[in-house]
Every structure is written in structure tokens, then in C-alpha cells.
Amino acid sequence: MLTVVLLVGLSGAYFVFVLPYLWRDVNVGLPVANIVLFICALGSMLLCMCVEPGIIPRKCVFELGGYIPEEFTADVLVKDMERGAQYKHCPTCKVFRPPNAHHCSTCGNCVEVFDHHCPFLNNCIGKRNYRYFLSFVASAVFEGLSEVAGLFLFLFYDPNNQSSVVDAEIVKWIVVALIISTCLVTLFVTILCCFHVDLCLSGETTKERLKHTHDPKKEKSCFRPYPSWFAPRQMLTLQQVMKAETWRETEARS
């Protein structure tokens, strides 16, 4: 909720007090960029908040469907001991979670390729929504920088500009307050963005970086630190659902 208030509140004030002047008396290029970046940031933020991050259903949920995928049972330890050594049993969800999956104490679920739980977005960041998180952070940085540029243009491009909203002197004090608050927020988001760019370059997650559990033998990639982050979710495939239905029918006949 705080993120929504900051993004919509600061950008809303900028659009009301500054953007009309820039559009009318300076150049339409910067206002158009402001609007496009705001839409990108808002859309990415909503997707990051609403998209399920890659939650592994609990054992009881799988049992309701009549089928537990093999990769979440103890069979995975027998079939692939080398890979299975990285599998861990979650006593809460009662499933064997795959490598890089962790149990989020805040949400109470195991999440595939768990990065962190974001209190500002009130959601876990994991396999399915990490790309939206990166998009949100990057677009928020550029949105903040473009708004700071617009605010300084408002103050110094034409000192005698007038505002049709309220008294010009009051507007200038509002703009000064917006500059301070926007610069602080943009600085914080820029540091966060740089941190996650570094994680992508090293092929780590936030949890691995903080816990110092990253395997240096993993292949590094600038664009795909984990292929599953940028691939469609493959937790319950059509084949698995059909197997569950077949298993259920067999049990019913017996």
C-alpha cells in the first residue's frame, strides 16, 4: 500500500502542478516520457503484486486433486541422488521442495526460486513474478529521474512561469517539496535496482546473497540468472492433471 501511495501520490502531484507547464511552454517530449514510464511502473507494480510468485501447493492440496507430482515426493531423492541432495523437506507444507525453493514465514508457503518477501508490495518475489519486479524497479528509477528533470525545468527554465492551479509562489514551494521527496525515493529505488542487477550478473537470489549459500559453480547469465524465472510455470502440467484423473478413476473402480 505504501508503494502505491508513493508512486501515485508523487506522480499525481507532478502531473497536476508541473506537467501542464512542461507540455505547454517547454516541450511535449518529457511529459510524454513521464506518462509512459508511469504507466510502465504502475503496470509492473500491479503485476508483481497480483501474480502468484510460484507457490508450491501443500501436500494436502495435492491430495485433494488425487495426485502428488513425483518431483515433490521422496521419490526424487531416490531417482537423482546428486540433485536430490539439494532437495529439502518442508515440515510445514510436507513436500520436498526443489533447489532454490524456500518457505516464506510471512506468507506461510514454499515458493519456487524464492528471492525475498517484499513488504512494500505485500507479496513474495519468486519464479513467476521476478521479471515484473525487475521491470517495476527499473521503470520506477527512470520515472523518478525524468520527474526530477521536469521539476528542475519547472523551477529554472522560466522563473516567471505561472500556474493555473493555485498561486505561483505556493506551487514553487510544492515543487521544492516534490524535488526533495522524489530524489529520496529515487535514490532508494536506484540502490535497490543496482543491487538486483548485480544479483542477475552473479546468478544469485537475494536470499542466497544474504545467507552466503550461492553455489559458485552455477552458470552466470546477465539475462537469465535462473531459466525458470523467465519461463512459463511448469508446476502442474496438463499431463500431470490427466495422470491425476486416471489415478482417481483407478482408485474409484478398485
So what's the pLDDT on residue 215?
58
* pLDDT at residue 233 in the model: 39
pLDDT at 229: 39
Residue 110 annotated among the catalytic residues of the structure: no
Name the pTM for this structure: 0.75
User: Tens digits of per-residue pLDDT, 239-252?
Assistant: 444 444 454 455 55
Task: Give every residue of the chain whose pLDDT is below 70, as ranges.
Answer: 1, 65-85, 157-168, 213-254
pLDDT for 235 equals 42
- The whole-number pLDDT of residue 160 equals 54
Determine which one of 48, 93, 118, 193 is catalytic. 118
DSSP secondary structure, the chain, as one string: -HHHHHHHHHHHHHHHHTHHHIIIII-SHHHHHHHHHHHHHHHHHHHHHHS---EEPPHHHHHHHT---GGGSTHHHHH-HHHHTT-EEETTTTEEEPTT-EEETTTTEEETT--EEETTTTEEE-TTTHHHHHHHHHHHHHHHHHHHHHHHHHHHT-TT---SSS-HHHHHHHHHHHHHHHHHHHHHHHHHHHHHHHHHHHT--HHHHHHT---TTSPP-SS-SSGGGGS---SS-HHHHHHHHHHHHHHHH-
Res 83: pLDDT = 53
pLDDT of residue 244: 46
